[in-house]
Amino acid sequence: MKRIVILTLLVAVALTTAYLILTIYDKNMKFGRMWETPAVRPHEEKLLVMESGVVPFYEGELIYKRAEGEDLISPFQKTNPEIIESGKALYFTYCTQCHGKYFDGNGTVGQSFHPLPTDLRSKKVQSQSEGVLFKSISYGVPDGRQPPLATTIRIQDRWKIIAFLKSLPPHN
């Protein structure tokens, strides 16, 4: 019995010493300890609410998302050769894999889609206004397979791609 008491006491002393050493070590730790970092759990803090009447002064995506395609007007002149040229470069970054290098819908990746990617020279596409095209490229086509690219391509760049599409020679 005596042995057990002594052993327990020894263990208690050892544990307390270890704890004290650790505490001193922790307190003198130059960089602080992880457990000192305030932990904020999800939904623990109230979400920030945007004041009403506050509008983004640059690239407000929601403004475009809410608008009707017909009401949207490109900030660029669609005949401006510089805009068309940069739209072309952007097309070959973002669209060519599906719509193809000849804009006919024969891109490598596009072939796994049903329906196949639309021929961008076709009357169906060319007859649509720039704003309507902007909406389909940005948010997809309802019940269609065009991917929504709003989070992939900057607003200005989308308009440039459209200027380039509009410059394509017509085709049936």
Query: What residue ranges bind ligand HEC (CB under 6 A)?
Result: 94-95, 97-99, 109-110, 113, 115, 117-118, 120, 125, 133, 136-137, 141, 144-147, 149, 153, 161, 165
Of 75, 77, 102, give the one whose Cα is nearest residue 91.
102
The minimum distance between CB 157 and ligand HEC, in angstroms, equals 9
| Amino acid in position 115 | P
Nearer to ligand HEC, 48 or 152 (CB): 152
Tokens encoding 93:
């970054």
Nearer to ligand HEC, 149 or 155 (CB): 149
CB-count burial class (<10 Å; 0-12, 13-18, 19+) for 134: buried
CA dihedral 15, 17, 20, 22 (to 10 degrees): -70
Q: Which residue has the tokens 């401006």?
A: 80
Nearer to ligand HEC, 53 or 166 (CB): 166
The minimum distance between CB 36 and ligand HEC, in angstroms, equals 47
The minimum distance between CB 34 and ligand HEC, in angstroms, equals 42
The minimum distance between CB 79 and ligand HEC, in angstroms, equals 18
Nearer to ligand HEC, 80 or 96 (CB): 96
Neighbours of 135 (CB within 10 A): 23
